[in-house]
Amino acid sequence: MIKWGSRGSPLAMTQSGTVAAKLARLTGEAESPIESFVTSGDRIADRRLQDAGGKGLFTKELDEALLDGRIDAAIHSLKDLPTVMPDGIALAAIPSREDPRDGFISSKARSLAELPQGAVVGTASLRRQAQTLHLRPDLKIVTLRGSIQTRLKRMNEGVMDATFLALAGLTRMGLQSHVTSLIDVEDMPPAPGQGALAVTCRADDAKTRDLLARITVPEFEIAVAAERGFLHALDGSCRTPIGALARLNNGMLHFLGEILTPDGETRWRREETMALSGDAIGDAAAFGRQIGAQIRAEAGEAFIQSLEKRGW
């Protein structure tokens, strides 16, 4: 029986329960309990993650529990995972992916375009900030962190005029009715891996890896391999506004990726399609890295210097 671990937020535990149940159905064994963890990222509520260290803040304690043998597998939102896994930790399965789009939530307007001049938008995502300001430079961005319920509560209190939440999380919590409208991925590509769940385990635990391979979905593995390849080529972190989405259709992989300056003033974007061969996951990862390298070359040192010059 696998010893599962997860962040303790309501969304994380709900997501983890679906993964544990999926494996239990396949093996015919009783569903294992899930141990909850408070991570470094959960303890930070007053500032953006990029100011506190970026990616890895939601995985550190779970990685330690894996390596110590306290748990056998950890369930994450894929977009929380660093692009390079820590020594001894393997990304073993992508068992689920909901609609990756962002939901626009507002009582003041039906869409981002219809928000009044100078409206206040709450988000802790540097990607959403940059993409919003690229489309609407007149808007004011304020930091909004916390659970889905906390963010919805702040919205209802009138602290801001609008916010964005991942549709996947809202759907898994049964809260999708709060969405005013869905954001077109052509306007705002989601975070790489958004909507996907990931399961990690010890790299040398062959038995657990074999079990977890039974619940992975190849289509999702291929798509996120491309998105994470793109992220890796751009040294992506919470400090970098990056959006990417890969989609499969009839053996073709369609990829849309972009990187922006945090003020949204400048955007570099590429959209490409490739045919998959026998090593689909390897091909997809290489494809993502290739597109990321092209954007990196195009943005060049001007982009890096702009981040440093403006204190980002």
Q: Which residues are catalytic?
A: 80
Rounded CA separation 254/73 (Å):
31
Q: Residue 169: which H helix or E strand, with range? A: helix 167-172
Measuring CA to CA, which residue among 129, 150, 152 is closest to residue 140? 129
Rounded CA separation 191/182 (Å):
15
CB-based contact 36:6 (threshold 8 Å): yes
Rounded CA separation 257/269 (Å):
6
CB-based contact 259:267 (threshold 8 Å): yes
Measuring CA to CA, which residue among 305, 187, 235 is closest to residue 82? 235
